[in-house]
Structure 1
């Protein structure tokens, strides 16, 4: 998506001043969108030609060598034809890069995608799915053995929340060289015995 300042706020002027490598495709996309969803309103925002209903439904970007069609709630849209080829890692916005213009593009699928986007725009935004829990970090054997030998350190470690326990396990477990393992283990036991979290271990 082109996030530069818009070169103009006028949609017609925006089309007229598109780079030559994408101008024709942007014009075609604009015509198709208004043919399929004539009630959408047109505006320019962040140098994109945007089409809105309640909120922004989609937007066209014109780059030097290609055009791009962005759907603001793309993650909520069915895409059986797999038109989306850019930004799928984004939680909401998905795009279609068009390096070859509309040649070979499934226009029927694109029309269905646009209709679905307009319908989704009338519905409340879906909450983001909860993040997958992080895989539990295994307890390093050397740390487990050291805690067995120091009751004060072990008692404080058991009181810590799993997040804070993980910090110590990762720090010790990531060490590879014997000297590094020994040094981190010594600092860990000393800090835990003094009732300190990992971030506080070097405090006096």
Structure 2
């Protein structure tokens, strides 16, 4: 029997067994609250991902940080200044969350909604070369 992406994410949360698992569970709940139609995926040999008409973000866990990487983060409005990592690239942006950090849940939900809206925009038509 094949394991679903949601089952993989449940297992990751359980196996972490510390603040990182709790934070990943909170992030997951916030993403799904912001966009109940988000699809959970398990990619790149063990990375929880959420998509809706394209990748919204990933939820990576490291020794001292839980990282939310937004696929098109550089194009998203971030008035609450949540992005604090991967700031040099032209496409992605990330939020590094450390033990004890407080989440701005309202701002995070707004960021998820903005990411979905961006995914749903029609791509600009390429101009014909003269």
Give the 5 Å matches for 1:1-204.
10-18=8-16, 20-46=18-44, 47-103=46-102, 105-124=103-122
Output one character per residue of 1:153-186: Cα deviation in whole Å (capped at 9) or x when no partner: xxxxxxxxxxxxxxxxxxxxxxxxxxxxxxxxxx
Counterpart-to-counterpart distance in 2, 1:125 and 1:108: 28
Which blocks of at least 5 consecutive residues in structure 1 are unaligned?
1-7, 127-204
Cα gap change, 1:125/1:86 in structure 2, threshold over 3 Å: closer, same or farther?
farther
Q: Which consecutive residues of structure 2, in runs of 5 or more, have no partner in the other structure?
A: 125-130
Please tell me whether Structure 1 or Structure 2 has the larger radius of gyration of its CA atoms: 1
Measure how far apart 1:19 and its partner are. Answer: 6.2
Higher RCO, Cα 8 Å, sep 6+: 2
Check whether the contact 2:64–2:98 (CA below 8 A) recurs between aligned residues: yes
Work out the number of aligned pairs and report it: 119
Flag the structure with higher strand content: 2
Deviations 1:93-131 (A, max 9, x none): 10000013552x3221111111100100112467xxxxx
**Contact in 1 for aligned 2:56/2:115 (Cα 8 Å):** yes
Taking structure 1 as the reference length, what is the TM-score of the superposition?
0.53
TM-score (norm 2): 0.80
**SS of aligned partner of 2:59:** strand
